[in-house]
Amino acid sequence: MQFSHIVGQEHLKQKLIQNVRDNRLAHATMLLGAEGTGGLAIAMALAQYLMCENKGETDSCGTCSQCVKNEKMIHPDLHFMYPNIKREPNDKIQASTTWIKEWRDTILSNPYINVIDWINFLGKGDNKQGNITKGDCHETIKKLSLKTYESPYKIQIIWLAEYLGLEGNTLLKLIEEPPKDCIFILVVENIEQVINTIISRTQIIKIPPIDDQEMKAHLIQKYEISEDNAKKIIRIADGSFSTALKLLDGDENTNDELTMMFLKCSFKKAYKQPDAAKLMDSMIATFATLGREKQKNFCKYALFYLRECLLLQQGGRTKLEGAELDYAKKTIAYIQPDQFEKIHLLINRLHYHIERNAAPKSQMMSTLLQTSRILAGEYVLVDS
């Protein structure tokens, strides 16, 4: 992958290129950024630039033999480690190489995929738990002890190194004292889940959210959508391109209506209005008929809407407009800041469970009932 294929992140790309040209790139680099900001894509572009035979000032050449093999993810000196599951229940070793064909096909199609979608793809939707195991680590140690085949570097990319857990201790000596010309690139989204001994042995480079204007330009150019549609997508995506991709097929107007319907149901239940039960049944049934991705899109829009309402309530500038803004002005008159926070946590939890294939009807019912209790002024304990 070339740097030019990455959405936005122009400043970061130039920084990494300059580090390589000045020979200041650490032997172990941690790319730290939220989901959808391009960690894996940047790691792959960096690896290709390191191996490129004809490096340019702004990118790899894309045509030398090193680049061609990197573009196809088949370079013998480029290795990947990522969360995975056992291919067969009786397999003795769970290792990334077991899934290398699926990995290549998936990442070449979408380098911004998130871990839940990746593991669900491997597990055929069985909601399995992915990990990077000790067997995976030992296999990596063995591979990196060999000489390079054709590149000046052996490069190990670990996608979501937080999934190493305590097994990361197996790699400590290798990361601290790697073989000659061996480079580690760790992609991390949740640094608090990475063991400190790994963190202390890496150079951390933070990946910021993708700039709204850069993302909008990319969406319009590549997906040929209108500027208005792109604008609606990026305000909810909040700097995450993986979120933007999922919103491309979404229905913004439906999300508006569902969010307003959700709040109306909650208010009616809170104030014990006679038609509350009927409206709740309708909301639950409508939500259940949506596909899982559209259910998640609703949650993302609702989270965005609640954040904007709170911002509006505090006198800040909001991205809401038209009917959304009119309804928001009514909403903030009846919801206190601490209630916004609790409802936000409930919607976030709903998204978490839907992403993991929980039953949508029961999850929506639970969320509606707890939201109505919060609006009624009752004490509701909501885990963050």
* Residue 145 CB neighbour total at 10 angstroms: 11
Instruction: Please report the DSSP string for 39-61 in residue order.
Output: HHHHHHHHHHHHH-SS--SSS--
Q: What value does the mean pLDDT of the chain take?
A: 92
- Average pLDDT on 271-275 reads 91
pLDDT at 293: 83
Largest Cα–Cα distance of the chain, in whole Å? 75
Task: Give the residue from 305, 311, 347 showing the smallest Cα distance to 323.
Answer: 305
pLDDT at 199: 95
**CB-based contacts of 163, cutoff 8 Å, min separation 6:** 82, 83, 115, 130, 131, 132
- Average pLDDT on 41-54 reads 97
Do 65 and 142 form a contact (C-beta atoms < 8 A)? no
Its pTM stands at: 0.86
Pick the CATH number of 249-375 from 2.30.29, 1.10.10, 2.60.40, 1.20.272: 1.20.272
More confident residue, 377 or 291: 377
pLDDT exceeding 90 applies to what percent of the chain? 74
CA atoms within 13 A on the CB side of 160: 20
- Band of residue 266 on the pLDDT scale cut at 50, 70, 90: very high
Do 158 and 189 form a contact (C-beta atoms < 8 A)? no
- pLDDT tens for 57-76 read 999 999 999 999 999 999 99
pLDDT at 318: 87
Domain chopping of the chain, boundaries: 3-208, 249-375
Which residues make beta-bridge pairs with 30?
186, 204
Fold of 3-208: Rossmann fold (3.40.50)
pLDDT at 105: 96
**CB-based contacts of 354, cutoff 8 Å, min separation 6:** 292, 295, 296, 299, 360, 363
Residue 195 pLDDT more than 80?
yes
